[in-house]
A and B are shown apart, each in its own frame.
Chain A
Amino acid sequence: MSDLIAIFLGMALINNFILVQFLGLCPFFGVSKKLGNAVSMGLAVTFVMVIASIVTWIITRYVLIPFDVLYMSTVIFILVIASLVQIIEMFIMRTNYALYSAFGIYLALITTNCAVLGVTLINNIQKSYSFPESMAAALGGGIGFTLVLAIMSGIRERLELADTPKSMKGLPVAFMVGMLLALAFSGFGGII
């Protein structure tokens, strides 16, 4: 059990997807201008990460390893993620339209989010996690992702009002905020 907590905290804080592993930067700089949008996007990514980790773990364990075709993982995983996102989108649209109108546009963007493909590759290829371990990693990664997206959006809402130099407006100052957040998160380095 303590292993699972260590993996969860490690993925959420120490090896944070955005600030340490630089995965999923497009939503970090693109979507994170409003707190509500940022949290919705983060939760949608977490949800897809967990489902994708379940499916890719099963595929790795019962298809890729027995047939010795682990080198095909990139092709298989991206297809799994793309079709999963489509299925989830259709399912949510039919069952809960209110949820769909809140999450819908983010789901389409998730297919090309490197954090989702990243977590499946880390779980199955780089670390060869067991099933509970990969669940902890996916959940931790997703929650860490949501956390940083939410922090960033709060800061950017305030930055809109700040008097930044003309050349620094928009993306450059967002990078500066990213730098400060990365410095702050590097303080988590020693907790496990």
Chain B
Amino acid sequence: MTSFIKEFSKGIVTSNPIFVLALGLCPALAVSDRLEKAVWMSLGVLFVLLCSNIIISAIRKYVPNIMRIPVFIVIIATFVTIISLVFEAFVPAIFDALGIYLSLIVVNCIILGRAEAFASKNSVKDSIADALGITAGFAVALIIISLIREILGTGGLAWGDTAIFTLPVLGDHPLTVLALNPGAFLVIGLLLALFRWVGVTKNE
């Protein structure tokens, strides 16, 4: 049980995929303008990473070494196709909002990186813990970024069509640039610098 907790907690802080390893940045920038998109994207990554880690660690002894990368990619692409079809059927508005970024989970370095670096060498149980921890780290990062961008960039917070709250002054004069493309670079860059400054992550 201790190894399970160890593998889980490492993904959130010491090897947070976005803030420490700087992997999977494309979705982190692209879908972090609204909290709702960030949450659904994290759920998609959770499903794909969990399933692919389980399958890859279960078959790790039967896959010839030279064929492992193509095998991993096909397994990952299969689960991405499944989650895209599920999103399209049950949450079509989210499917449209995420666009090609849902399909692009296939080439997300986090997923293939975990398959190659962890699941292909460890037991199924540890791989589940690893998948949960890394996804939790990814989700925490994405939610922090999207909260900042949505609250300051639109002056409030909304889920679907219902507004959760609106800020008094910013609601009328939001800092729109934060919700647009340059804002993604700005917020993530400042957060990276902040985490280095307070010492959560190491300087280069």
Q: How many whole Å from A151's CB to the nearest CB in chain B?
A: 14
Given contacts A22-B29, A72-B81, contact A112 B112 (CB under 8 A): yes
* Interface size, chain B (Cβ < 8 Å): 43
Instruction: Tell whether, in the assembled complex, residue B204 and residue A78 are in contact, meaning their CB atoms are under 8 Å apart.
Output: no
> Are B26 and A114 closer than 8 Å at their CB atoms?
yes
A71 and B185 contacting across the interface, CB-CB below 8 Å? no
Flag if A71 contacts B180 (CB, 8 Å).
no
B197 contacts chain A at the CB level, 8 A cutoff: yes
* Contact of A172 with B192 at beta-carbon distance under 8 Å, contacts A25-B26, A179-B185, A182-B181 already known: yes
Given the known interface contacts A29-B22, A126-B99, A173-B189, the answer about A186 and B106 at a Cβ–Cβ threshold of 8 Å is no
Q: Which residues of B contact A126 (CB under 8 A)?
A: 99-100
- The A contact surface, by secondary structure, is helix
For the complex, what is the distance from the CA of A186 to the CA of B181, rounded to whole Å? 9
Which segment, of B5-13, B70-78, B152-160, B167-175, faces chain A? B70-78
Interface size in chain A (residues, C-beta < 8 A): 44
Q: Check A175–B185 contact: CB distance below 8 A.
A: yes
Task: Report A108 CB to chain B, min CB distance, Å.
Answer: 10
Question: Once the chains bind, are A78 and B186 in contact (CB under 8 Å)?
Answer: no
Q: In the complex, which residues of chain A have a beta carbon less than 8 angstroms from the beta carbon of B78?
A: 75
Pairwise interchain contact B74-A75, C-beta atoms closer than 8 A: yes
Instruction: Please tell me if B107 contacts chain A, counting CB pairs below 8 Å.
Output: yes
A29 and B100 within 8 A (CB): no
Q: Are B185 and A79 in contact (CB under 8 A)?
A: no
Pick the residue among B182, B189, B203 that contacts A186 (CB under 8 A).
B182
Looking at the assembled complex, report how far the CB atom of B23 sits from the nearest CB atom of chain A, in whole angstroms: 8
Contact between A175 and B188, CB atoms less than 8 A apart: yes
Query: Contacting A22 at CB < 8 Å: which of B109, B184, B192?
Result: B184
Question: How far is A72 from B82 in the complex, measured between Cα atoms in Å?
Answer: 10
Contact status B106-A122, CB under 8 Å? no
Residues of B contacting A113 in the complex (Cβ-Cβ under 8 angstroms): 107
Contacts A22-B26, A29-B22: A71 and B77 contacting too (C-beta < 8 A)?
no
A74 within 8 A of B: yes
Q: Which of A19, A21, A74, A186 has most chain B Cβ within 10 Å?
A: A74
B189 pairs with A178, CB closer than 8 A: yes
Measured between alpha carbons, how far is A29 from B192 in the docked complex, in Å?
A: 14
Residues on B with C-beta less than 8 A from A169 are 203-204
A→B interface (CB under 8 Å): 19-26, 29, 71-75, 78-79, 82, 112-114, 117-118, 121-122, 125-126, 165-176, 178-180, 182-183, 186
In order of increasing CB-CB distance, the 6 nearest A-B pairs are: A175-B189, A179-B185, A172-B193, A170-B204, A167-B197, A167-B196
